[in-house]
């Protein structure tokens, strides 16, 4: 080969725009950069779940961080991994966010042993939200099974803080047994300060249990509801929301006024890794909150 | 689009100009298979003659220069119970010579996912923007079905695209960067003869396809046949090895994991391409698996490429290169699976 | 460091060899650049190959080798009784390993062949889990040191560890290795557990499945594929029996 002294360097020259360096572009950076946050308080809820209060360290980042009820964050323990967690605190709370976390894998096991003061990373918020704006002026029915109360807590805050904007508000909550009830210290506040009706049932009572025993569908069947004027949010395992939503549908609540939150494995939160795909879409971008009609049309969603 | 012609010696000169100042990657012969056919991979070359521009297909897709199999998304430094995160996007200017139309169309599809949506990926963009692409036409092999999925012609996604007119190349110019490059060599304005020769070549290419796949009705067919028994038939064959997705020029699904050095001083968040056929693709903590069976995973690869992707971008996420069909040890390939689905529909 | 304000453990580790080549133990002192840091993470209380220290209390017992004598059975049981976590370390401990090939022979004849006029007391080879419960398996012939380091990090933090569940093909493709079948050679990569980073196929040698089967490996489809490519049943069975990780119908 003849040695050519003056080659064409694609990073130089008139028609070449030079090296395109994204390291200088802040707007693109923030999707990958996590907000460093401090775990300020850890509230034990059950054997398996704890509530973590997190405060974003940087004042400017904390001020700009905002979310809508139903959205989730990617919570990262650097060096160990990242998990999607739906936000359980009030959207109006700018001081800290709360995440209810069940001990299941590597990251959540570590978090359960972490102590206040620990530094974790947050990315987000991501995903769709419950349309609380659209629900204003209507009755609202919030139905949770088990850990499903965690994603419901943000809309519960949102609704109770703006209570006058809604009609009748009911919360139906069911778990396997009394030891699994989450946020039991808040029930009185929701009832008396929040002005919502809260009904709770457990499938298996223990010696101290004085409340309802049975499936959540029993609570639902007893409830009088104005089907033409009700929005429903249903969170829980697929078998639970399927039964609940089909009963609501049978009683005349339109499927596009019922909202569920789907759970899938997520690795990016940004619609790229496609690990959370369900049917023809991805849970992180088009979900996690879907109306029930959409869910019915997603293969393998139930 | 603007066109020029380039004498073959001038093209050689062009590549040598690029070689003198840049990393140049192209199809390189790496050996032969058991049937004596040559094997090619996209690898860095140091001389024009190392390029095997007449290659049929490469073992691995050029997507790995944009979406590497493994890449660190960020690094961490730890100190006591605190840490700092550092993100660096790799800026590595590179020239890729000899990409076929299907592979360029594969990149155009990846562009839709990684550059246009709500969260453009700076990792991908950094590589895409800093890579100059010179594509080349080829006569389709017996298993190529790019024409069936509209990936045999390229309109964008490259800088220059060559079609071999025996004595010269017919060059489509896809960017100002490509235009500027041609000014460094003796490129000629096209004549009526060039145009006629080029169109004749296009017909020759179009007529040479032996494999045809009808993908028009696939989005609805995949919904209707979602519960079909034939998925079990193919699923029973599937080794769930992920080879199909690894060699696919458009499969982009990935996983993220993190690692810490044994002295706990530094760590990294690592992205690694994954495959929807692998057992743990939809597995969550506690070992619940949303897709525990081989057939459900195999089905989802087709469902994503020909239903989910169409829903999002109005085109399938398949460019018809049949690398997956070739890499599959048990012979699962899109033309057969799709034909089977369509035969099921007519039964 | 006190990560997340959690005090990591510095577990006491005992390393014990049974019927094996001790090559997996040797891997522990391999990877020199991180050896000092590795040793800082654990307190090695019993390691015949590298240290004179002897202490009979340990949190983690790394057990290398298969079990092939009555006295080994007893020794293993006493280790199990003392260890909080018992790790089957390497393919011999996990599956019986190469030693297991012996089980297919007439044991008396094999004994005579090897030891001549001085036969040794011997039993059919068994994996550790066939005798005592095993908490964690680290397969590989030999084990992969970076993977061992990751596992130790998990043990220090009391975290569950998951080996890759998918087959070697993924790692092979990710390092641009031409498929061995393309070259007309036998390879078990499509049914064998990944995590080794596929060094053998990259070096031109088909996978021998030293890490045992991938989770839910489709062995049936794999067998018919191999048959269709002209390899004999016997050749495949021999390959699959080699490290003892696969069920081979004989």
Complex ipTM: 0.92
Domain enclosing residue A54, as ranges = 32-126
* Beta pairing class for B266-273 and B254-260: antiparallel
B82-86, strands of its sheet edge to edge:
B82-86, B70-79, B266-273, B254-260
Tell me whether residues A105 and C160 touch, CB distance under 8 A: yes
Query: Does A273 reside within a domain?
Result: no
B168-173, strands of its sheet edge to edge:
B38-45, B24-32, B94-99, B131-136, B160-164, B168-173, B2-7, B187-189
- Chains A and C: how many Cβ contacts under 8 Å? 32
Q: Among B143, B123, B94, which Cα is nearest to B325's?
A: B143
Burial annotation A112-126 (CB, 10 A radius, 16+ → b, else e): bebeeebbbbbbbbb
- Chains A and B: how many Cβ contacts under 8 Å? 196
d(CA B282, CA B260): 25
Query: Does A8 reside within a domain?
Result: no
Q: Among A121, A112, A145, which Cα is nearest to A44's?
A: A112
Q: A30 at the B interface (CB within 8 A)? A: no
Q: Judge if A242 and A206 occupy the same domain.
A: yes
The 3-class SS string of B184-210 reads: CCCEEECCHHHHHHHHHHHHHHHHCCC
Burial level of A268, CB count in 10 A (0-12/13-18/19+)?
Answer: buried
**Structure pTM?**
0.92
Of A126, A141, A169, the position where a domain reaches its end is: A126
**Is residue C9 reached through a cis peptide bond, with omega within 30 degrees of 0 on the bond before it?**
no
Return the structure tokens found at B213.
Answer: 């796949």
What are residue B109's phi and psi, to 5 degrees?
Answer: -70, -45
Q: Give C4's contacts in chain A (Cβ within 8 Å).
A: 77, 110-111, 113-115, 118-120
Q: Give pLDDT, residue C235.
A: 95
pLDDT over 90, % of chain A = 77
Burial level of C209, CB count in 10 A (0-12/13-18/19+)?
Answer: buried
Q: Among C20, C22, C93, C13, which Cα is nearest to C56's?
A: C13
Q: Give A285's contacts in chain B (Cβ within 8 Å).
A: 117-118
Q: A79 at the C interface (CB within 8 A)? A: yes
pLDDT in tens, B116-157: 878 889 999 989 989 999 999 999 999 999 999 999 999 999
Query: Does A289 reside within a domain?
Result: no
Q: Give pLDDT, residue B303.
A: 92
Is residue A172 within 8 A of residue A197, CB to CB? The reply is: no
Nearest chain A Cα distance for residue C3, angstroms: 8
Q: B81 at the A interface (CB within 8 A)? A: yes
> Cβ contacts of residue A49 below 8 Å, gap of 6+?
A100, A101, A102, A103, A147, A150, A182
Q: Judge if A47 and A104 occupy the same domain.
A: yes
Tell me whether residues B258 and A8 touch, CB distance under 8 A: no
Tell me whether residues A32 and B73 touch, CB distance under 8 A: yes
- Structural domain count, chain A: 2
| Whether residue A4 has pLDDT greater than 60 | no
Across the range B224-237, mean pLDDT stands at 92
Q: Give pLDDT, residue C249.
A: 66
Q: Judge if A136 and A247 occupy the same domain.
A: yes
Q: Judge if A230 and A136 occupy the same domain.
A: yes
Q: Judge if A206 and A140 occupy the same domain.
A: yes
Query: CA C57 → CA A183, C41, C64, C153, distances in Å?
Result: 43, 17, 18, 20
Write out residues 161-200 of A within 8 Å (CB-CB) of C: none
Burial level of B33, CB count in 10 A (0-12/13-18/19+)?
Answer: middle
| Whether residue A1 has pLDDT greater than 50 | no
Confidence of residue A28 (pLDDT cuts 50, 70, 90): low
Q: Judge if A108 and A153 occupy the same domain.
A: no
What CATH number corresponds to the domain at position A255?
3.40.50.80
What are residue A265's phi and psi, to 5 degrees?
Answer: -70, 130
Q: Which helix (H) or strand (E) holds A76?
A: strand A72-77
d(CA B117, CA A282): 13
Q: Which residues pair with B258 in a beta bridge?
A: B269
Question: What residue ranges define each of the domains in chain C, with the CATH number in brackets?
Answer: 3-156 (3.40.50.700), 169-241 (no CATH)
Q: What is the pLDDT along chain C (250 residues), one digit of tens a residue?
A: 577 888 888 889 999 999 999 999 999 888 788 888 888 888 888 887 666 667 778 889 999 999 999 999 999 999 999 999 999 999 999 999 999 988 888 888 888 888 888 888 889 999 999 999 999 999 999 999 989 989 988 888 888 888 999 999 999 999 999 999 999 999 999 999 999 999 999 999 999 999 999 999 999 999 999 999 999 999 999 999 999 999 886 5
Q: Judge if A189 and A114 occupy the same domain.
A: no
Query: Does A3 reside within a domain?
Result: no
d(CA C243, CA C192): 11
Query: Does A75 reside within a domain?
Result: yes
d(CA B90, CA B67): 12
Of A105, A126, A147, the position where a domain reaches its end is: A126
Give the number of other Cβ atoms within 10 Å of residue A106's Cβ: 20
Q: A105 at the C interface (CB within 8 A)? A: yes
Handedness of CA A216, A222, A227, A230 (dihedral sign): negative
Chain C: residue nearest A108 by CA?
A: C159
pLDDT in tens, B110-127: 999 999 878 889 999 989
- What subunits make at least 3 CB pairs under 8 angstroms with C? A, B
Q: Give B59's contacts in chain C (Cβ within 8 Å).
A: 176, 178-179, 182
Q: Which helix (H) or strand (E) holds A43?
A: strand A35-44
Handedness of CA A269, A270, A273, A277 (dihedral sign): positive
Burial level of C197, CB count in 10 A (0-12/13-18/19+)?
Answer: middle
d(CA B333, CA B323): 9
Report the SS3 class of residue B2. strand
Burial level of C161, CB count in 10 A (0-12/13-18/19+)?
Answer: middle
Query: Does A241 reside within a domain?
Result: yes
With vertex at residue A65, the alpha carbon angle to CA A62 and CA A70, rounded to the nearest 5 degrees, is 135
Q: Judge if A60 and A98 occupy the same domain.
A: yes
Q: Judge if A191 and A89 occupy the same domain.
A: no
Q: Which helix (H) or strand (E) holds B75?
A: strand B70-79
| Whether residue B232 has pLDDT greater than 90 | yes
Q: Judge if A138 and A246 occupy the same domain.
A: yes
Give the number of other Cβ atoms within 10 Å of residue A26's Cβ: 8
Q: Give pLDDT, residue A17.
A: 64
pLDDT in tens, B161-192: 999 999 999 999 999 999 999 999 999 999 99
Write out residues 253-282 of A within 8 Å (CB-CB) of B: 263-265, 267-268, 270-275, 277-281
Burial level of C117, CB count in 10 A (0-12/13-18/19+)?
Answer: exposed
> Cβ contacts of residue A31 below 8 Å, gap of 6+?
A123, A270, B119, B122
Query: Does A230 reside within a domain?
Result: yes
| Whether residue A123 has pLDDT greater than 50 | yes
What CATH number corresponds to the domain at position A50?
2.40.30.10
In this complex, the residue of B82, B122, B286 whose CB is nearest that of residue A28 is: B122
Determine which of A104-113, B247-256, C34-43, C177-186 has the lowest per-residue pLDDT on average.
C34-43
Return the structure tokens found at B288.
Answer: 């619940």
Report the SS3 class of residue B31. strand
With vertex at residue A135, the alpha carbon angle to CA A126 and CA A138, rounded to the nearest 5 degrees, is 160
Q: Judge if A109 and A149 occupy the same domain.
A: no
Q: C165 at the A interface (CB within 8 A)? A: no
Query: Does A280 reside within a domain?
Result: no
Query: CA C220 → CA A266, C210, C248, distances in Å?
Result: 32, 19, 11
Is residue B276 within 8 A of residue B253, CB to CB? The reply is: yes
> Cβ contacts of residue C78 below 8 Å, gap of 6+?
none
In this predicted model, which residue has the larger pLDDT, B246 or C37?
A: B246
Of A71, A106, A126, the position where a domain reaches its end is: A126
Q: Which helix (H) or strand (E) holds C150?
A: helix C145-156
Nearest chain A Cα distance for residue B168, angstroms: 21
Chain C: residue nearest A77 by CA?
A: C4
Q: Give pLDDT, residue B91.
A: 78
> Cβ contacts of residue B343 below 8 Å, gap of 6+?
none
> Cβ contacts of residue C119 below 8 Å, gap of 6+?
C108, C111, C112
d(CA A119, CA B310): 42
d(CA A283, CA A302): 13
Give the number of other Cβ atoms within 10 Å of residue B233's Cβ: 12
Query: CA B274 → CA B256, B265, C166, distances in Å?
Result: 9, 28, 10
Q: Give C181's contacts in chain B (Cβ within 8 Å).
A: 329
Largest separation between any pair of C-alpha atoms in chain C? 63
Q: Give pLDDT, residue B131.
A: 93
Q: Give pLDDT, residue C1.
A: 55
In this complex, the residue of B74, B89, B256 whose CB is nearest that of residue A267 is: B256
What are residue A218's phi and psi, to 5 degrees?
Answer: -65, -40
pLDDT in tens, A245-282: 999 999 999 999 999 999 888 999 998 999 998 888 89
Q: Judge if A223 and A105 occupy the same domain.
A: no
Q: Give pLDDT, residue A26.
A: 59
Chain A: residue nearest C159 by CA?
A: A106
Write out residues 52-91 of B within 8 Å (CB-CB) of C: 59-60, 64, 69-70, 78-81
């Amino acid at each position: 080969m003849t040695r050519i002294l003056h080659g064409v360097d694609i990073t130089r020259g008139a028609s070449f725009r030079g090296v395109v360096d994204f390291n200088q572009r802040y707007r693109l950076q923030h999707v990958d950069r996590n907000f460093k946050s401090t775990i300020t308080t850890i509230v034990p809820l059950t054997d398996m779940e704890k509530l973590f209060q997190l405060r974003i360290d940087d004042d400017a980042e904390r001020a700009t961080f905002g979310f809508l009820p139903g959205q989730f964050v990617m919570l990262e323990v650097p060096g160990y991994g990242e998990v999607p967690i739906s936000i359980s605190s009030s959207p109006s709370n700018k001081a800290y966010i709360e995440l209810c976390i069940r001990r299941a894998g590597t990251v959540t096991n570590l978090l359960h042993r972490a102590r206040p003061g620990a530094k974790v990373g947050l990315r987000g918020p991501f995903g769709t939200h419950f349309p609380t704006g659209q629900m204003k002026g209507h009755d609202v029915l919030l139905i949770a099974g088990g850990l499903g109360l965690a994603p419901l807590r943000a809309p519960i805050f949102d609704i109770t803080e703006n209570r006058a904007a809604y009609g009748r508000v009911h919360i139906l909550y069911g778990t396997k047994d009394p030891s699994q009830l989450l946020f039991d210290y808040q029930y009185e506040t929701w009832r008396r300060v929040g002005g919502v009706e809260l009904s709770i049932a457990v499938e298996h009572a223990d010696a101290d249990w004085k409340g309802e025993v049975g499936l959540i569908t029993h609570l639902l069947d007893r409830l009088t509801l104005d089907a033409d004027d009700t929005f429903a949010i249903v969170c829980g395992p697929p078998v639970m929301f399927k039964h609940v939503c089909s009963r609501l549908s049978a009683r005349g609540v339109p499927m596009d006024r019922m909202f569920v939150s789907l759970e899938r494995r997520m690795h990016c939160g940004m619609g790229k890794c496609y690990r959370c795909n369900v049917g023809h879409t991805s849970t992180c971008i088009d979900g996690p909150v879907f109306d029930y009609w959409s869910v019915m049309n997603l293969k393998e969603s139930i | 689009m603007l066109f020029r012609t380039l004498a073959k010696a001038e093209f050689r000169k062009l590549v040598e100009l690029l070689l003198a100042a840049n990393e140049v990657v192209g199809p390189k012969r790496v050996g032969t298979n058991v049937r004596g056919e040559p094997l090619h991979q996209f690898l860095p070359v140091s001389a024009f003659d190392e390029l095997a521009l007449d290659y049929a297909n490469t073992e691995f897709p050029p997507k790995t220069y944009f979406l590497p199999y493994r890449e660190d998304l960020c690094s961490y430094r730890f100190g006591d119970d605190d840490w700092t995160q550092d993100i660096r996007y790799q800026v590595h200017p590179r020239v890729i010579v000899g990409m076929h139309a299907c592979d360029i169309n594969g990149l155009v599809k990846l562009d839709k996912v990684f550059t246009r949506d709500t969260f453009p990926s700076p990792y991908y963009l950094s590589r895409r923007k800093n890579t100059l692409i010179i594509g080349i036409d080829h006569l389709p092999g017996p298993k190529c079905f790019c024409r069936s999925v509209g990936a045999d012609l390229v309109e964008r996604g490259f800088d220059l695209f060559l079609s071999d007119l025996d004595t010269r190349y017919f060059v489509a110019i896809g960017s100002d960067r490509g235009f500027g490059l041609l000014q460094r060599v003796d490129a000629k304005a096209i004549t009526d003869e060039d145009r006629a020769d080029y169109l004749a070549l296009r017909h020759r290419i179009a007529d040479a396809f032996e494999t045809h796949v009808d993908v028009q009705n696939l989005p609805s067919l995949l919904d209707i046949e979602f519960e079909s028994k034939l998925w079990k038939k193919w699923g029973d064959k599937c080794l769930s090895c992920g080879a199909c997705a690894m060699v696919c020029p458009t499969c982009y699904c990935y996983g993220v994991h993190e690692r810490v050095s044994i002295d706990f001083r530094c760590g990294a968040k690592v992205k690694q391409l994954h495959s929807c056929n692998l057992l743990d693709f939809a597995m969550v903590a506690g070992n619940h698996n949303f897709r525990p069976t081989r057939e459900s995973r195999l089905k989802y690869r087709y469902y994503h490429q020909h239903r989910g992707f169409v829903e999002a971008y109005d085109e399938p996420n398949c460019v018809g290169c049949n690398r997956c069909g070739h890499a599959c040890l048990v012979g699962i390939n899109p033309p057969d699976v799709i034909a089977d689905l369509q035969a099921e529909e007519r039964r | 460091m006190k990560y997340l304000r959690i005090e990591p453990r510095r577990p006491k580790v005992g390393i014990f060899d049974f019927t094996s080549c001790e090559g997996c133990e040797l891997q522990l002192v391999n990877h020199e650049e991180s050896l000092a840091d590795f040793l800082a993470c654990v307190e090695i209380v019993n390691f015949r190959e590298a240290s004179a220290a002897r202490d009979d209390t340990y949190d983690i017992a790394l057990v290398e080798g298969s079990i092939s004598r009555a006295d080994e059975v007893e020794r293993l049981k006493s280790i199990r009784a003392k260890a909080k976590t018992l790790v089957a370390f390497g393919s011999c401990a996990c599956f019986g390993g190469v030693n297991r090939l012996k089980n297919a022979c007439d044991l008396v004849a094999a004994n005579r062949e090897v030891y001549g006029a001085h036969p040794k007391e011997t039993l059919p080879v068994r994996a550790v889990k066939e005798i005592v419960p095993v908490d964690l398996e680290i397969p590989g012939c030999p084990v992969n040191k970076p993977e061992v380091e990751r596992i130790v990090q998990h043990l220090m933090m009391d975290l569950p560890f998951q080996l890759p569940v998918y087959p070697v093909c993924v790692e092979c493709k990710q390092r641009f290795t031409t498929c061995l079948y393309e070259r007309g050679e036998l390879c078990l990569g499509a049914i064998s557990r990944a995590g080794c980073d596929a060094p053998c196929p990259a070096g031109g040698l088909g996978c021998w499945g030293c890490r045992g089967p991938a989770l839910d490996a489709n062995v049936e489809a794999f067998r018919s594929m191999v048959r269709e490519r002209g390899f004999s049943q016997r050749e495949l069975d021999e390959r699959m029996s080699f490290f003892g990780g696969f069920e081979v119908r004989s």
